[in-house]
Chain A
Amino acid sequence: MSFLFKRNPRTPQEVVRSLNEQISKIDLTNDNHKKYQDDCARFLKQMKVILNGDDETEPQPDQITLLAQEIYQTDCLYYLITNLSKLNFDSRKDVSILFSNLLRRKIGNQSPTVDYLINSKPEIIMLLIKGQVHHEIGLICGSIIRDCIKFEVINSLIIASKVFWNYFGYVQSDIFEVATDSFTTLHDLLTLHKKLVSEFLTSNYDQFNKNINQLIQSKNYVVKRQSVRLLSELVLTRTNQNFLNRYFDDTINLKVVMLLLSDKSKNLQIEGFHIFKFFIAKPKKSQKIMDILIKNKSNFIEFLEKFDLSSLNDSTIIDEKDYVWNEIKKLPEIERL
């Protein structure tokens, strides 16, 4: 790639400026847009070489610094994201690589790109989140967002904002890639930074619970299965203690989980069981929870009789089933009328 420099020598600043210029010229309704797209593709490739070097050249720290500074100063990342869908297929991937390279760059303990995103242009993050629902650029925006939320400050910024709740809608998109990729992001947002998430779940219990239960009751099998898995993971996370205490006292949750036990899908039954067992194991159960458990004693026994786990070869879950079975048997019989 270095022949580009020889033929067309440019400083990092010039590359950034030319890229910004050409992006603004892409007009998809105009026939000449391909030329500008190609130019952008070329400049993006050049940036990649400056950042990573190539077969012939090693990356130069001073060049990288010049490039990064120019990118921040000219809001280049902002223009790239606002015009992402106008870039060609491969350039979009290069934008994602560019983000990931810049995010990883550190000065001392600081990531200047994170500082920039938080303090100068938080709009970029919002654009990326909203971009996740677009078929064409969804996966690219998703992968950039997930690179960003590896940094706790950005994760924190997102879950504190209203747009976070959009994800519960995104994951139900008709477009498979949009739905599943948004789910991956939602999962990361709620599992990467334990302490942050624990505080979030405590102060947003009602809203979160309503939303996750809605997903678990979705008609879409993939949404259902992924959301129960996510809930299981949250329930198993020790730091989420406050959330758990409320969750297992709430009869609505017990109902949702019982419906999973009677789902036709064996996998959903199993996932449901992994949450149900905590309702049973919880030492001090609320009266309402006890009432529902008692009323359904015979139902549970009937369920457990048919709940065949032998194909799983997992002795833990079989032990857990025996434990639950015993506890159910200990429940008082209801007086028959």
Chain B
Amino acid sequence: MGVDDYELEAFAGRGAFGDVYRAHSLKHNTIVAIKVINLEETSDDIKTFVSEIHFLSSLRSEYITKYFETIVQRTTIWIVMEYCGGGSCYDLLRCHKKFSEEVTAYIIRDVLRGLSYLHNQKRVHRDIKSANILLSSDGKIKLADFGVSGEITMTHLKRETFVGTPFWMAPEVIAARDMGHDQKADIWSTGITTIELITGEAPLSGQDPRKIIFDIPRRKPPVLTGINFSENIKNFVKYCLVKDPKNRPSANTLLHHRFITGVRRHVNIIQLIKEKDEWMKTSKRKVRRPRNELQLDETTTSQMINWNFDSTRIGAPSIVSRKVSPMALDSLELSFDIPFKSSSELSSPETPLSSGQIQNDHLPSDQLSPNSSPQPAYTYTSCFFYCMKRVEERANLPSTKRAVGELIKDLVLYENDQPGICYAIFEEILKFKHVVGE
């Protein structure tokens, strides 16, 4: 087994981590999806990736994209998965604008079946949304993208992104990040996804995701209203969006809900996929490019320095010849993959948080760009760290103190990596304070 068994056919998109390609498996004569992850991008221990892959290989359910194998190709790993020819529910939704209750129930039922399997395996998906619900070419529903599921998160590659995507995120996930991140959060996201499928967008999706992070835990759960919707779906959504996770039903329970049990045997999803494929051909879409260009050629493995390993006593210095090889470490720019980019009010979260640009894009125009004068950025940033230090001092328990200390250390790391982050955080807090009028 090796990369020679596969013929890459096309770039298929960016996954939660790494680029995804459609490929032809020569051995089995099938189409597969291959995620390519460059391990050179992280200097952390790679065992997190390894456990993630072991986790994928321990799943076997028809409602979850199937894992085939992993291949090491130079500094990259190729994760070979089932290819879903029907695309994602997000693409399907963009073409059809919204789905009927029948189609919605069909999709959500299989999402729940997938979740039920996953939860039985004591795992959590954590990023349920239409973009992560895939369709096989014969219209079967498959959950995908476990990049952030389970115990491991790809934090080192996803630094600037949230774990999960804010619009679909459960209040308790936002309120207590990483505490009791349990299976019920997936149910909330399923409820939000139901609203997304039936109305065409997730609640609050017109708003700034950085603001709704604060809103979701404070607000009442979204409600599906209007005479266009049946009581069944309204009631189903209401159950999914019970705010207290303890009182929110499990996937198994929800599978018995009338909205789900009423799904007809034949839902013509294939027709919808066909129409979408036609639509995709004609509509002008932004051509997405892979994050990293694939290097398939085997370059020679000559070393960069001619070491002298001669163990006899001192002789003439060896002539140093070097081949400087290009290092692909400059590809750390990450994207924040959120649908609804068309929505005009939404300031794109994809804006890179790098110094200079952030201020131009998000600061009131009267603010001086720290590029020309570093002073304001310096002040906000130091205020921010002052506050963090205060929090550390206030901690009662040594363990809390340690945790805050660790957090500060991490913040410094990220700040150094992407200068301007702490400036932006502090500014948003100030803005927010202004919004709520405290």
Q: Which residues of A contact B (CB under 8 A)?
A: 89-90, 93, 139, 174-177, 180-181, 183-184, 219-222, 225-226, 229, 251, 255, 258-259, 261-267, 270, 288, 291-292, 294-296, 298-299, 302-303, 311-313, 334-337
Contacts and interface: CB of A to CB of B under 8 A. Distances in A.
Contacts of B47: 184, 226
Contacts of A184: 47, 50
Counting contact residues on chain B (CB < 8 A from A), the size range is: 35 or more
B329 A266 contact: yes
A327 B43 CA distance: 26
Interface string B295-312: 000000101111111110
Given A89-B60, A221-B72, A251-B311, A263 B53 contact: no
A262 B314 contact: no
23 contacts: A175-B69, A176-B53, A176-B70, A177-B54, A177-B70, A221-B39, A221-B75, A225-B39, A263-B303, A264-B301, A264-B303, A264-B325, A264-B327, A265-B40, A288-B311, A292-B311, A295-B310, A295-B317, A299-B308, A302-B305, A302-B322, A313-B412, A337-B315
A295 B315 contact: yes
Which applies to chain B's interface (DSSP): helix, strand, loop or mixed?
Answer: loop
Contacts of A219: 301
Given A177-B57, A295-B314, A299-B320, A267 B43 contact: yes
- Nearest 7 A/B pairs, CB to CB: A176-B70, A313-B416, A262-B305, A262-B303, A180-B50, A262-B304, A295-B308
A322 to B, nearest CB: 18
A44 B306 CA distance: 60
Contacts of B304: 262-264
Nearest to B417: A313
A250 to B, nearest CB: 12
Interface string B329-355: 100000000000000000000000000
B320 A298 contact: yes
B54 A139 contact: yes
A177 B59 CA distance: 14
B287 interface: no
B293 interface: no
Contacts of A225: 39, 46
Contacts of A226: 46-47
Contacts of A177: 53-54, 57, 70
A176 B69 contact: yes
Contact of A222 (B1, B39, B42): B39
A258 B307 contact: yes
B205 to A, nearest CB: 35
B70 A296 contact: no
B46 A176 contact: no
B45 interface: yes
Nearest to A334: B314
Nearest to A222: B72
B77 A292 contact: no
A276 to B, nearest CB: 12
A255 B308 CA distance: 9
Contacts of B325: 264
Given A222-B77, A255-B307, A298-B320, 18 more contacts: A174-B1, A176-B69, A176-B72, A177-B53, A181-B50, A220-B72, A221-B72, A222-B72, A258-B305, A259-B307, A262-B305, A267-B40, A267-B42, A292-B308, A295-B310, A296-B307, A296-B308, A313-B412
Contacts of B246: none
